[in-house]
Amino acid sequence: MNIKQTISLCLVLAIAACTYAQTIEDNILKLNKQQTTYVAQFTEKIVMPKMKKETVKQGTMYFSAPDALLMKYSDPDGDYSLIKDGKFSAGRKGHVQNFPMNEKNKSQMYVLRETLLGSMTGDLKRVAEENEADIVCEEKAGKYICMLTKQKAKTVGVNRLELVYDKKSGALLSLKLLQANGNYTLYETKDIQQGTQISADTWKM
């Protein structure tokens, strides 16, 4: 095989890989468009390897498309994170904090809100755009695994995201946010119910 043939083969393989990844992205988005609600038990792990420290929280996650997400913690009881009506608030130990949402400046909390909502709706393009990241997806053991890596690595903040979806339902199984310093936050879900009715009182925090 000469150099010209080798280059042509590499181009064909690269195009095929991009097409395959795009097909997975499209499937995830299509599956999630068929569902309007999502309720699951979740675990949140905040890991700091260098400090050998790990914090584990758990609770119930509620999502109503396209932009209402509540993470209601049972441990620690009473804590919550709520995204609704364009706002983002969090309750910790009885104290409520409302985060300013600045699309123009893309504040850290604004990007987190868009990342969480985009992940729940299966809109990987939205997540990638907000994080200025490239997407690589693969299918493995009945799951879609997608890696989003910052196009320009930063010395602080999130540099890579790992999302895992169920291939059959499109439900988000896990989301991992990896920071430049090695710390990461991992959300994992189980007992997922899609299409179930969520009471209006659920959102009253």
Per-residue model confidence (pLDDT) at position 9: 37
Mean pLDDT for 149-169 is: 93
13: confidence class by pLDDT, cuts 50, 70, 90: very low
Per-residue model confidence (pLDDT) at position 3: 57
Closest CA to 161 of 142, 185, 190: 185
121: confidence class by pLDDT, cuts 50, 70, 90: very high
Q: Phi/psi zone of residue 85: left (φ > 0), alpha (ψ -120 to 50 degrees), beta?
A: left
Q: DSSP assignment, residue 182?
A: S
Mean pLDDT for 116-121 is: 97
11: confidence class by pLDDT, cuts 50, 70, 90: very low
1: confidence class by pLDDT, cuts 50, 70, 90: low
